[in-house]
Amino acid sequence: MDRRTFLRAAGLAGTGAVAGCLDSRASAGDYDVGMSTVAFKPETVTVAVGETVVWRNTSKQSHTVTGYEATLPDGAAYFASGEFADESAAREAWADGFGGRIEQEETYSHTFEVAGEYPYFCIPHEKAGMVGTVVVEAD
């Protein structure tokens, strides 16, 4: 059973116990990382090499998912909502017109092909501490 199938099943099993506590618009089985006003939830997610992480904006604020380019593992592809080539381009696009933004209920996904830690942040909420990490483990 893959991780998303397990999460979907576990989420359905626990729904009755927490009815009213969950946002009915987005199911936890549809994404790996949610976005609150100024936080990624969970802040750290662990996946295997070759798996895809899906972020969903579960808040009313616009957000980005932007890799800290200088800290990515050697040989890893850069990642950012808006599919920018590097961190500088992502920051410039945000400053020039909110490029790379993920609106409420929209998603962004990236497949991680190299093991290691991938720190990332939300450009408009970086100073508020909206940062996260994807940990990619080798098989």
d(CA 71, CA 74): 9
For residue 126, pLDDT over 60 is answered with yes
Q: Please tell me the predicted confidence (pLDDT) of residue 27.
A: 56
> Mean pLDDT, to the nearest integer, of 65-78?
98
Q: Please tell me the predicted confidence (pLDDT) of residue 14.
A: 38
C-alpha angle 62-125-91 in degrees, rounded to nearest 5: 80
Please report whether residue 106 resides in a domain. Answer: yes
Domain range for 76:
31-137
Please report whether residue 13 resides in a domain. Answer: no
Identify the residue with better confidence: 89 or 13: 89
Please report whether residue 105 resides in a domain. Answer: yes
Please report whether residue 16 resides in a domain. Answer: no
Please report whether residue 7 resides in a domain. Answer: no
Q: What is the DSSP letter of 102?
A: B
Please report whether residue 130 resides in a domain. Answer: yes
CATH code where residue 93 lies: 2.60.40.420
> Mean pLDDT, to the nearest integer, of 24-38?
78
What contacts 5, CB < 8 A, 6 or more positions away?
A: 29
The total number of structural domains that make up the chain: 1
Can you name the residues that pair with 120 across neighbouring β-strands? 67, 132
d(CA 93, CA 103): 16
